[in-house]
Amino acid sequence: MTALPASAAAVGPGSAADAEMAARDPSTSLAVSGIDKSFGGIQALTDCSLAVRKGSITALIGPNGSGKTTLFNCITGFYEPDRGRVYVRGVPITGRRPSDIVHLGVMRTFQVTRIFRRMTVLENMIVPVRQLTLRALFTAAIKGHERDRAEALLEFVGLQDLRHEQAGSLSFGQQKLLELGAALMAEPEIVLLDEPAGGLNPVMIEKIAGYVRELNGRGVTFLIIEHNMGFVMNLCDPVIVMHRGTVIAQGSPAAVREDPIVLDAYLGD
Ligand code: ADP
Ligand code: MG
């Protein structure tokens, strides 16, 4: 992919210098430059760089183990990168605590949903925004403006009637919707979704895609890890491809699908 289409983000794949430049551009929501992260002998990320254009629905794809979730963890403060920088709206956030990063406008969902099963649906809405531990959650009350917002978001994702039910009684798909709703509590600049369609039936996948589209129309930027290619191709542009801990390609869905480098990465693993 030498000639990137106009729809692609403003940086070439994988260059830390381009990501640093993008970080200073007001049209960039999130930039990651030159991140390394290893776990003992496993190098999960190597000089990983990318930029997400404000207002885009950007996909992050790549074979299993290519470092996508680790990158989300480095962006959101769950892991501290060994090297490199993360910027939101040009502000460096590397090494900040997850609770600070939430309030700087970065919200996320998890590949394996994180729901407190014994708490109600409504109570679960404040978990990500307050970065609560289970013990803190027992003493936290949801009221006032926060409660109004939680109720409105539950209405948005169609869970309003279930708000007083135990979250553990929700179906897997409803738990995904709950996580999506909760990720919107802090009026985020950007939302990172880790495999939102994973394990869902086609009806639920279409539902999630519809919500993402609608939220994007209201100005929310998305970076979405997803293996469901139908979901990615219909919803996302550009698509960023990772392989072995680094970005190997980036472009429109059509360009990425035909890119020999991308095909090699998938077939090789
Ligand atoms: P992906 O989300 O693209 O499937 P991951 O980021 O989960 O990939 O994993 C990338 C690599 O890092 C894998 O080899 C994985 O085993 C390793 N890894 C991720 N998290 C940890 C961790 N907490 N401890 C040790 N190894 C990890
Ligand atoms: Mg993952």
- State the Rg of the chain over Cα: 18
The phi-psi region of residue 266 (left if phi > 0; otherwise alpha if psi is between -120 and 50; otherwise beta) is alpha
Mean pLDDT (the chain, rounded): 90
59-76 residue pLDDT tens: 999 999 999 999 999 999
Ligand 1 pocket, mutate which of 35, 36, 39 (most atoms under 8 A from CB): 39
Contact status, residue 82 vs residue 103, Cβ threshold 8 Å: no
Two tokens at 10? 């403003």
State the distance from the centre of ligand 2 to the C-alpha of 128, rounded, in angstroms. Answer: 19
Give the pLDDT score at 179.
Answer: 94
pTM over 0.85: yes
Give the pLDDT score at 4.
Answer: 40
Strands 91-92 and 83-88: antiparallel
Name the residue with the closest Cα to ligand 1, atom 1: 65
Find the helix or strand (DSSP H, E) in which 46 lies: strand 42-53
Q: Ligand 1, closest atom to CA 194?
A: 2
| DSSP E strand stretches across 111-195 | 190-194
Ligand 1 near 70 CB (within 6 A): yes
Ligand 1 near 108 CB (within 6 A): no
State the distance from the centre of ligand 2 to the C-alpha of 147, rounded, in angstroms. Answer: 32
Average pLDDT over residues 80-91: 97
Contact status, residue 236 vs residue 224, Cβ threshold 8 Å: yes
Give the pLDDT score at 136.
Answer: 58
Please, which pLDDT band fits residue 142 given cuts at 50, 70 and 90?
confident
Task: Say which ligand is closest to the CA of 65.
Answer: 1
**Residue partners of 47: CB distance under 8 A and separation at least 6:** 14, 16, 34, 35, 36, 84, 246
Name the residue with the closest Cα to ligand 1, atom 23: 39
Q: Is the pLDDT assigned to residue 174 strictly greater than 60?
A: yes
175-205 residue pLDDT tens: 999 999 999 998 899 999 999 999 999 999 9
Q: Is the pLDDT assigned to residue 2 strictly greater than 50?
A: no
Ligand 1 pocket, mutate which of 61, 70, 71, 74 (most atoms under 8 A from CB): 70
Triad 209, 215, 219: Cα angle to 5°: 135
**Residue partners of 70: CB distance under 8 A and separation at least 6:** 37, 44, 45, 79, 245
Give the pLDDT score at 3.
Answer: 41
State the distance from the centre of ligand 2 to the C-alpha of 63, rounded, in angstroms. Answer: 9
Give the pLDDT score at 152.
Answer: 96
Average pLDDT over residues 135-149: 74
CA separation for the pair 37, 43 (Å, rounded): 6
Contact status, residue 71 vs residue 45, Cβ threshold 8 Å: yes
State the distance from the centre of ligand 2 to the C-alpha of 65, rounded, in angstroms. Answer: 7
- To which residue do tokens 């407190």 refer? 116
Ligand 1 near 68 CB (within 6 A): yes
**End-to-end CA gap in the chain:** 21
206-263 residue pLDDT tens: 999 999 999 999 999 999 999 999 999 999 999 999 999 999 999 999 999 999 999 9
**Percent of the chain surpassing pLDDT 70:** 91
Q: Is the pLDDT assigned to residue 10 strictly greater than 60?
A: no
Contact status, residue 48 vs residue 242, Cβ threshold 8 Å: yes
State the distance from the centre of ligand 1 to the C-alpha of 42, rounded, in angstroms. Answer: 8
Give the pLDDT score at 8.
Answer: 40
Ligand 1 near 28 CB (within 6 A): no
Nearest CA to 158 out of 112, 207, 95, 90 is that of 207
Give the pLDDT score at 141.
Answer: 73
Two tokens at 33? 């430059």
113-133 residue pLDDT tens: 888 898 899 999 988 777 655
The phi-psi region of residue 220 (left if phi > 0; otherwise alpha if psi is between -120 and 50; otherwise beta) is beta
Burial class (CB in 10 A: 0-12, 13-18, 19+), 86: buried
Ligand 1 near 136 CB (within 6 A): no
